[in-house]
Amino acid sequence: MSKRDLKKYLNELNKEQLEEQILELYEKFSPVKVYYNFVFNPKEETLLQECKLKIANEYFPVKTTGKRKKPKMRRSVAQKYIKHFILLGVDPFVIADVMLYNIEIAQAFSAENVIKQELFYKSMFNSFEQAVNFILSNGIVAEFKTRIREAHRQASLQKWYNEPDFKRIVEQFD
């Protein structure tokens, strides 16, 4: 069904029928429920803190039952939150904050640990590039310029092999 056909169909329904359909969607489909719960109660700060906690736990896992868990370092955890936040229509400042936080926590981990997987560095560069592009496209560079520069500086200090790529991205707005 095209969007045009859907509009035509919805125009034919009365108010009660529309309400009934929306309630049915809300009950049947979890993403619809999540969307409406966010729209009517957008606890962005709570979502942000929960998200940052999960990302940090990927690199610095919380001890459970006396044993230290091994860091998983999965970029996908942050990417899932970022995608979810974009779908919900969360404020771009919050999304940019999460994007940069993901890089910052990974750099904090790499400052303390030797990482041999080249994929880690490629992945962090991809995250960095996506963050900068998102920030540029939303016109919020001024608010995040310091953190972007610091991410590049850390890549340089830690002698990441792909530091020149970080530098090239940072030079876009210098």
The 8 Å CB, 24+ separation contacts for 152-161 are 154/104, 154/107, 154/111, 155/107, 155/124, 158/107, 158/110, 158/111, 160/110, 160/121, 160/124, 161/118, 161/121
Count other C-beta atoms under 10 Å from residue 26's C-beta.
14
pTM of the predicted model, to two decimals?
0.82
End position of a domain, from candidates 26, 41, 56: 41
Looking at the structure, tell me whether residues 88 and 110 fall in a common domain.
yes
- Per-residue pLDDT 10s for the chain (174 aa) are 899 998 999 999 999 999 999 999 999 998 888 888 888 878 888 889 999 999 999 999 987 666 668 899 999 999 999 999 999 889 999 999 999 999 999 999 999 999 999 999 999 999 999 999 999 999 999 999 999 999 999 999 999 999 999 999 999 776
pLDDT of residue 64: 67
Looking at the structure, tell me whether residues 15 and 87 fall in a common domain.
no
Looking at the structure, tell me whether residues 34 and 70 fall in a common domain.
no
Looking at the structure, tell me whether residues 73 and 159 fall in a common domain.
yes
Looking at the structure, tell me whether residues 79 and 32 fall in a common domain.
no
The domain of 65 spans 43-173
DSSP assignment of 20-78 equals HHHHHHHHH-HHHHHHHHHHHS--HHHHHHHHHHHHHHHHSPPPBTTBPPPP---HHHH
Looking at the structure, tell me whether residues 17 and 87 fall in a common domain.
no
Looking at the structure, tell me whether residues 55 and 140 fall in a common domain.
yes
